[in-house]
Structure 1
Amino acid sequence: MAPQLEYGAWRSWGSWGGYKSLGDVLLPELDSLVSQVPFPPPKARPSEFISALRLSWMKMWSQTSKPVSLFLAITGIGSAAVLPDKTPPFSVKVPENTAQGASANIDTSFCGFAFEQSSFTRYAQTDDGKPNVFSQNLIQAITSRTGGHPIIRLGGTSPDYGKYLPGQKAPALPVAEQDNYQDVGHTTIGPSYWGFTRHFPTAKYMVQVPMATKNLSETIAWTQAAVHGIGIENIHSIQPGNEPNLYSDTYRGEGGIELHPPEYQGTLTNQTYVAEYQKYTAAILEAVKELPKGRFFTAFDVATHYGRNVPPGPLLDVERCFALGIDSSRIIKEVSHHYYQGSAGGASDLARGLMDMAATHRYVDDLAARSIAWLSRSRPGLPFVLNEVGNSLQPRNSYAYQNRLGSALWQADFYLHCMARGVARVNYQQIMHAGYNLWLPVASAGHAAQVFANFYSQPFVADFIGGSGKTRVARLDIGGSGGDDENVKGPANVAAYAAYDDDVVRRIAVANLNYWNKTNADAGDRPSVVLDINVPAGVKTVEVAHLNSPLGAGGGADTITYGGSQWTFESLGKEVKGVRKDTENLVVKDGVVRVTVKSSEAVLLRLSTDKVKCKP
């Protein structure tokens, strides 16, 4: 078949593969490429056609003035596009003083932790009854970078429907394992449970107490036991209820146990939630005299699930609930929401799932517009936190989607974007069975204790925050390539953020979530973006630390390094340095440093006024 005739068949393929409007714009450009494209046989797959176009486009790059966006539009599926390996540099302008719209000061305890009630005992103690040094060291590896103390939330759906049994000798039942789901409706804890909190002596605890139950005596007993067992000085806040927007008149737990009226809460409205919250907090304050006066309670704690096939939960509206008087007693310390981004898929879903940066930013921006903006205007100083976060929902686990380099990069960018949009803290959830965990603390169900890929996001983010306590964060604009044309957009799926200390930029983070996975047979060469970053006057050198794996987005923890380091169970969670020597020191030339960021990689830049031996 002649190339022109075969091209005609491809040209009309499936209304251009479902991208008809895009094809209408780009087909004239494609027509000009047709003679140079080595078209596949008639029965070839559409992906082979795209690959052929990619190869021809890259060969023609030096001869054409067409912008890189043409290539992205042709070969990118969704916003997780694949960038060509050779493109002109993009420009990043860094305001010398704090960027307009920068965040408030970031708390040094921004990187928080959350544990499902029963799972916490496994993270805190080994099977032979000793403090879990592995967990201690991993938490220390994060908090030591900022100087903050770990803020740990203990809670979840299981304790909201759980019971405190004063005579129970076991700390928590049933025992959490890697292969069992949390037992909603049957979870019980005993007095010894709270002693496990002492294994993290510098931590402050967010203590969730039951509000799903209609039995106020249960709530009071739980609170009293926590205060006596943890010590009031080690409690960050008391949190009544878990995801009250999901209470239901027909809710059933594990095994079909009925967890609805009359013994448990039914569906709540803004009005009934405010009334119940006020009733439970008043009863707690009346019965537990050790609680301090003033702001000591977390409110809302609602579910906000976003993503493909997961509609947002029916939110209890922050503005409306405050108008109804939820804080009339002035006891609310912070407003909290939960966040899970979609349903976990398989390895092949990672590109269009977690690595779709535009979707992630849209969801966070929605939270910012809906709740954070109102709080900053009407209740300044009252923080908004995400105190239960996981990257996706899955009753069991899907490690190939939930715990690879791609998901760790999602987590790093998610934290950075949250800081820029005004989220005051993120508490990342851990459950023994969950696929999105940071680490597995003990051997369980045939799985060895181990550090998971997602952990690597945490030291990266902590280093970005730094230890000044005065860090402010702003997202930076990435300008177009190809000269000074400001109408040419920056690369898709790439974001840059600046950390300012005392109004001076000290660190820059860049996340490139474009999907590249060497575990795929047809991965090809690894693309990258090149950024020309305009740094403030006086900056002479830039250290570049990489969060990366040679396998790309599909790389597991054993292939990932950050700053050349790894953390393993064999090292008991302590940093193993020098595993990969990929940290660079670059010279600033004429106020610009040129940085290459590979697809499926994040980098952290430390700006220095000192001269060191660097490569230009």
Structure 2
Amino acid sequence: MSAISAPRTGAPVHIRVGGTSMDNIIFNASETIGSPWLSALKNFNPNTRFTLQVPLARNFPVDRLDFARACIDALPNGTQQLDALEIGNEPDLYPVAPTRPCASSPDRPKGYGPEDYVSEWKAAAKNLTEGVDALNGQNTWYQALTFSTGVVQNIWNVQALWNDSVDQGEFVKTVSQHYGSLEGDLMNHSKIISDMHSSFGPAISFLQPRGVPFILGEVGTAVGSGCTPPSPLKLYRSLGAALWTADFMLNAMSMGIQRVSMMQGTNFSFSAWQPVTTAAEPKGVHGNWYGHVFAADFIGTGGDFQIYPLPINDTHPHIVSYAGYNSGLLTKLAVLNMRFWNGTNDRPAVNIELAGLASGITGARVSRLTAPGGSAQLLNISWAGKQWSAGDDGQEPKGNNSVVVNVVNGSLAQNVTAFASQALMLEMIRV
């Protein structure tokens, strides 16, 4: 699948390798988390860039150094492929998790707090810089403050910890929302926006003027709770999930979030695809994959890209729009109709009207993210007429049903309709 996204945006694929399991490893070159695991890094395109997590929950400095050295050595292009080393994962949970039956005891005593974490993090960063030869002289980023979704922000506060920990690191926050329904949660734009701005807005506002990028390290529509199984699969593999993904990604860009690492794992209910067939899950492409392709095509390869959310019209509260600009010129419009449709009645629709477009725009190429069976549709989802399949192993499918609509005197020359549970992209065509 990674072969698709890079050509769409002109940027290398970035993979974050980490999580609670990585934070708790004990490295042994001859064991599973050793040479056999490291060899997988050589299977990726040598232009792929990585954020690699090194353990802090298991706070063994020598082991951490050995693991960092081994990971860098396993990358075909070494530190040229290393975007960051992420030290630890969700330290706010160290004093309370994991709990039985996942593990016998928490990672830290109950009194463990931000000051303890900062001290451990700074020691680990210093130790890595001095102890890993490949990092000497490198402009190395160490990702910090990788908090959990439910972090208590008035205790684990970015601004309060700034001077002590992240002056040389990126800020990463994990996010995983446990949604209960398509209509009420997953396709609820106002909920999506409210959740994102309340969770991330203050940190972004603080970090941006200081030149520290804000990255979301783990994003998924749901991950379950503790050791319990994830929520029902159909909710997260549907057309509605694709629309949620597109809306989330475009809004993240408009907020100034530098990168979003979507969670991907074997047997994860919300993964974009299942890479292999297991006893629990067949190999397959899932609905939210199409939201990623939509977002990647919206970014495009034009460079100097900026995105702005457009105001919601009270007459059509389900219509969500974003404008994309390259070097200050309008090049894309995304229109998402987030109205839930169950596929049984006539599909509601809204006509999209554009006026006042620049004189150099002669047309708009219109592509659709859709499915014939409605919001909960699992099969027959398509983007611009294309459908990906497990049998193709992620290769780009043939075909394209995009249409070009002329622009006359700054307006669309014919109706463009956004049906319920559908997303449109309008690409501006200039002389």
Unaligned runs of 5+ residues in structure 1 are 1-137, 171-188, 305-311, 480-488, 611-616
**Residues 445-479 of structure 1, C-alpha deviation per residue, up to 9 Å, x if partnerless?**
15331111111111211111011221111112244
Q: Describe the SS at the equivalent of 1:543.
A: strand
Which position in structure 1 is the counterpart of 2:118? 274
1:588 equivalent in alignment to 2:428: no
Show the 5 A alignment for 1:241-260.
241-249=88-96, 251-252=98-99, 254-260=101-107
Q: Whole-Å Cα distance in 1 between the matches of residues 274 and 360 of structure 2?
A: 45
Which position in structure 2 is the counterpart of 1:314? 152
Q: Which has the higher contact order (CA 8 A, sep 6+)?
A: 1
Which position in structure 2 is the counterpart of 1:401? 235
Contact 1:250 1:266 in 2 (8 A): no
Which position in structure 1 is the counterpart of 2:63? 218
1:238 equivalent in alignment to 2:68: no
1:510 equivalent in alignment to 2:324: no
Q: Describe the SS at the equivalent of 1:283.
A: helix
Q: Describe the SS at the equivalent of 1:278.
A: helix
Task: List, as ranges, runs of 4+ consecutive aligned residues in structure 1 with deviation greater than 6 Å.
Answer: none
Contact 2:303 2:327 in 1 (8 A): no
Following TM superposition, by how much is the alpha carbon of 1:422 offset from its aligned partner in structure 2, in angstroms? Answer: 0.7
Which position in structure 2 is the counterpart of 1:91? none
**What percentage of residue pairs aligned between the two structures are identical?**
27
Following TM superposition, by how much is the alpha carbon of 1:222 offset from its aligned partner in structure 2, in angstroms? Answer: 1.8
What one-letter code is carried by the residue in structure 2 that aligns with 1:208?
Answer: Q
Show the 5 A alignment for 1:293-312.
293-304=138-149, 312=150
**Residues 282-340 of structure 1, C-alpha deviation per residue, up to 9 Å, x if partnerless?**
12222212114444211111112xxxxxxx332321111113x214xx532x2111111
What one-letter code is carried by the residue in structure 2 that aligns with 1:511?
Answer: L
For the structure 1 residues 267 and 370, does the alpha-carbon distance in structure 2 shift closer, same or farther, using more than 3 Å as the test?
farther
Q: Whole-Å Cα distance in 2 between the matches of residues 369 and 281 of structure 1?
A: 27
Q: Describe the SS at the equivalent of 2:251.
A: helix
Q: Describe the SS at the equivalent of 1:205.
A: strand
Following TM superposition, by how much is the alpha carbon of 1:253 offset from its aligned partner in structure 2, in angstroms? Answer: 5.6
Q: Whole-Å Cα distance in 1 between the matches of residues 193 and 179 of structure 2?
A: 18
Q: Describe the SS at the equivalent of 2:133.
A: coil
Contact 1:344 1:393 in 2 (8 A): no
Contact 1:338 1:389 in 2 (8 A): yes
Q: Whole-Å Cα distance in 1 between the matches of residues 96 and 258 of structure 2?
A: 33
Show the 5 A alignment for 1:152-167.
152-167=15-30
Contact 1:260 1:266 in 2 (8 A): no
- Matched residue pairs, number? 418
Which position in structure 2 is the counterpart of 1:6? none
For the structure 1 residues 259 and 215, does the alpha-carbon distance in structure 2 shift closer, same or farther, using more than 3 Å as the test?
farther
Q: Whole-Å Cα distance in 2 between the matches of residues 503 and 268 of structure 1?
A: 48
Following TM superposition, by how much is the alpha carbon of 1:151 offset from its aligned partner in structure 2, in angstroms? Answer: 0.8
What one-letter code is carried by the residue in structure 1 that aligns with 2:87?
Answer: P
Following TM superposition, by how much is the alpha carbon of 1:536 offset from its aligned partner in structure 2, in angstroms? Answer: 2.2
1:203 equivalent in alignment to 2:43: no
Contact 1:460 1:562 in 2 (8 A): yes
Q: Whole-Å Cα distance in 2 between the matches of residues 193 and 258 of structure 1?
A: 27
Following TM superposition, by how much is the alpha carbon of 1:609 offset from its aligned partner in structure 2, in angstroms? Answer: 2.2
Q: Whole-Å Cα distance in 2 between the matches of residues 498 and 216 of structure 1?
A: 48
Show the 5 A alignment for 1:28-67.
none
Which position in structure 1 is the counterpart of 2:257? 423
Which position in structure 2 is the counterpart of 1:603? 424
1:145 equivalent in alignment to 2:8: yes
Following TM superposition, by how much is the alpha carbon of 1:147 offset from its aligned partner in structure 2, in angstroms? Answer: 1.1
1:358 equivalent in alignment to 2:190: yes
Following TM superposition, by how much is the alpha carbon of 1:217 offset from its aligned partner in structure 2, in angstroms? Answer: 2.4
1:560 equivalent in alignment to 2:381: yes
Contact 2:337 2:423 in 1 (8 A): yes
Structure 1 stretch displaced more, 190-199 or 581-590: 581-590
Which position in structure 2 is the counterpart of 1:577? 398
Correspondent of 1:524 among 345, 351, 354:
345
**Residues 460-512 of structure 1, C-alpha deviation per residue, up to 9 Å, x if partnerless?**
11111011221111112244xxxxxxxxx242132111111111011111111
Following TM superposition, by how much is the alpha carbon of 1:255 offset from its aligned partner in structure 2, in angstroms? Answer: 4.5
1:283 equivalent in alignment to 2:283: no
Correspondent of 2:364 among 529, 542, 553:
542
Q: Whole-Å Cα distance in 2 between the matches of residues 382 and 461 of structure 1?
A: 24
Correspondent of 2:174 among 331, 338, 341:
338
Contact 2:14 2:49 in 1 (8 A): yes
**TM-score computed with the length of structure 1 as normaliser:** 0.65
Contact 1:247 1:267 in 2 (8 A): no
Q: Describe the SS at the equivalent of 2:128.
A: helix
Following TM superposition, by how much is the alpha carbon of 1:436 offset from its aligned partner in structure 2, in angstroms? Answer: 0.4
What one-letter code is carried by the residue in structure 1 that aligns with 2:173?
Answer: H
**TM-score computed with the length of structure 2 as normaliser:** 0.92
Q: Describe the SS at the equivalent of 1:233.
A: helix
Query: What is the CA RMSD across the aligned residues, in angstroms?
Result: 1.9
What one-letter code is carried by the residue in structure 2 that aligns with 1:536?
Answer: A
For the structure 1 residues 249 and 477, does the alpha-carbon distance in structure 2 shift closer, same or farther, using more than 3 Å as the test?
closer
Following TM superposition, by how much is the alpha carbon of 1:592 offset from its aligned partner in structure 2, in angstroms? Answer: 1.9
What one-letter code is carried by the residue in structure 1 that aligns with 2:83?
Answer: H
For the structure 1 residues 536 and 290, does the alpha-carbon distance in structure 2 shift closer, same or farther, using more than 3 Å as the test?
same
